[in-house]
Copies of this chain bind each other. A is one copy, B any other.
């Protein structure tokens, strides 16, 4: 794996140190002091980082999170849990799940080379708040 370019590194560092998924324009706002001024600069870096698997897009939230799991091969098999109350997002690393889904074959015979799974629920903190 080659090194990241300047913009890619700046944006990856920001996402990687964030405890929560970041949205593109929030990233833009946060890197303007580093000279990244336009949305396109952000989106290009995001596209590349997603492509090489350093970050993932949480599709239901239009937000980006650093990969927690070097073994999800280049973003081909991703799963997340999302708390619908506090919006905490965690990447799921479960070999049973990934084996099951990677080898899943639909009855139509189509073979998949990629998947993205998002689970929704309440995290432990939010469940205990409710009681």
Chain A residues within CB distance 8 Å of chain B: 59-60, 81, 83-84, 90, 92, 94, 97, 100-101, 104, 106-124
Contact = CB atoms under 8 A, between A and B. Distances in A.
Given A112-B120, A117-B117, A118-B115, A81 B97 contact: no
B107 A90 contact: no
Interface SS majority for chain A: mixed
A81 B106 contact: yes
Contacts of A110: 81, 83, 119, 121-124
A25 to B, nearest CB: 17
A106 B94 contact: yes
Given A90-B108, A108-B81, A108-B124, A116 B118 contact: yes
A122 B108 CA distance: 12
Contacts of A90: 106, 108
